[in-house]
Structure formats: C-alpha cells, structure tokens
Structure 1
Amino acid sequence: MLRSNFLRLCQRTFSTKRSGGSAQSTNHEARDRTGPRGRVGKRLGVEILTEQQERERRRIKTLERKALKEKVKNEKESGLRKSRTGKVIGGKKLQMRVFKVKSSTVAEMVRNLRARGRAKLQRAETKLRKRV
C-alpha cells in the first residue's frame, strides 16, 4: 500500500506519461501557472518561458480565437448554425443550437430533455415537431 502511494506521488511530481517513460510533461502546463490552485506536485515541473515565448503563445491563442469567431460567423450566415435560445420545452427553458435539423436529431433532443413526467415529454415533442 505504502509503496503504491509513493509511486503515485512520484508519478504526480514528475509529470511524465506512464508509457515509454518519456519525460514529456502532460497537458498541465496551463494549470501549472495558476499557482496554488493547481496540483502542488505538478507545479514542480513548471516550464519557465521567456517573455518572447510568452508573447508568441499569447499571439497564437488570440489568432485561434479570432479564427473560431470568424468560423462561427460564417456558419451563421450560411445557415449551418442556427441558434434558438430560451425556448421553454418540457418545463425547462433551454438554449438549443441546432445544426441541420433532421427528424432524428429532434428525437434525440427530446430524449435528452430529461422531461419530468411523460406528459411534459409529449408536449415537448409536439412543440418540436411543429417547429421543424
């Protein structure tokens, strides 16, 4: 028991991937910089970035964010992404984003609405059917 705990602690401290034993840190870099909220062991493996690297990383992140925004905008314009917000279905106010509505997705959505009671579910079904 003690041995396994010790091993676990080692693994946590030197955040390496289990297989292959490569000393490559897992995707906790983001958490490393969050200070005490991250796992204490993980913070031992903090990668120290130069200011230039830091700037570069930030620049890439903003570019990615802009690209995603652009993509969403294009989808909205081309009608691929329709957002329907705040419709009350089965007693729940839902925010739904519908991609290319087909009857199957409607059925799935209804199934996923954990509607309280059978009657509410049926009401939700008719509402959705009317809309599509």
Structure 2
Amino acid sequence: MLESRLRDLLSTQLEIIEDGIELIKIEQYLPSSLGTRSFIDILAKDRRGRWVLIELKRSDAAARQAIHEIHKYVEAVKSHLGARDDEIRAIIVSTEWKELIVPFSRFFHDTPISIIGIKLTVDDAGNLCFGMQI
C-alpha cells in the first residue's frame, strides 16, 4: 500500500491512534519565512485543543527523514499558527521502525513537545491495525 493511500485511510480512522483526535486537514501546507516547504501529512487537534502533527512513514528509507520533518513542522506551526511548545503534539506513525527508533528516542528525550511513536500494521485485506506505541 502506498504511503498516500495509508495516510488517507488513517485520516478516516484517527481513533486508532487516540480517541478524540479531530482531523483538520490532510497535507496541510504551512509557509515558512525561510522558504522551506512544510506539508504535514495529517494535521489534527486533540481533546485539549492542542495541535497534533501526524507524520506517516511506510518504509525504513523514508523513516530516516521523519525526525527532520517533525522539527521543521513544529517550527512552522509555532511560527505560522502562533502555537507554543505545550500546544503542539507530534505523532510519528510508521510501519517500519528499524531505522527510526534511535533518532526517535533521541528526539523524544531532547524535545519539549509531546511526542509519541506508533507502529502501524496493515493486514492482507488492507485494514489498519494499531501495532504498538513506541
């Protein structure tokens, strides 16, 4: 299954991640004064009104980019939407964690924002299954 298909499917089933997450937009563009392009896979809000940035990865090769992208998206949300660190959550959802676990662990310990990782699986019928929280 392609990452875009997985993103679209997940966006209709955000309760797999957490109850109460409300979809704001898929592929939300956020401008940056530095000229970088920021397209958040899934932008949502949680029950407490915090911005939830969901970055989705489908392969180990793509997962290597996840931490860099989350850094960029967090700064764009702070700049463009005026959010503070305590108003932002990041969720990295990946079907593969081999290449991602070490940089994710470092980011988890170093960042002031709330971040979780989720291993997602897709069954043979194309259904999403919550694997585990990292």
Query: TM class, shorter-chain normalised?
Result: under 0.3
TM-score (norm 2): 0.21
Taking CA–CA contacts closer than 8 Å with sequence separation of 6 or more, which of the two structures ends up with the larger relative contact order? 2
Q: Which has the higher strand share?
A: 2
Q: Which has the higher helix share?
A: 1
